[in-house]
Amino acid sequence: MKQVHLLVLNRTIESAQQDFSYGVFWWPRPVMATLRDVMQLQQVEGGRYIYVPRTDPHPEGCVSETSAKNLSPTPQSAEAV
């Protein structure tokens, strides 16, 4: 399993997960859901949001209900594209 030790964004994780163009999200939803679950905001510096691993992470191999839903394969509708 790969682990993220530092995440730096120019916005919050919550707003970054909503970024899309031409009907395609910039970040895959399962990736953003997992980052939201395992990372916490440490500080904002120079307009950058600095995230570090949570001090109370989910047990190894365990994901939240939100992440589990996002990891489930679902067909995309033609309207979303």
Distance of alpha carbon 18 from alpha carbon 12, whole angstroms: 10
pLDDT of residue 79: 45
Predicted confidence at residue 71, as pLDDT, reads 42
Half-sphere exposure of 6 (CA within 13 A, CB side): 4
Q: Where are the domains of the chain?
A: 1-55
Reference 55, options 66, 41, 70; nearest CA is 41
Q: Which residues of 61-75 are buried (b: 16+ CB within 10 A; e: fewer)?
A: eebeeebeebeeeee
Residue 31 has a pLDDT of 86
- Quote the CA–CA distance of 38 and 58 in Å, as a whole number: 7
Tell me the residue length of the chain: 81
Model's pTM, two decimal places?
0.61
Block mean pLDDT (10 aa), the chain, length 81: 85 78 78 90 95 76 48 42 38
Quote the pLDDT of residue 75.
Answer: 39
Q: What angle do CA 51, 56, 62 make, to 5 degrees?
A: 100
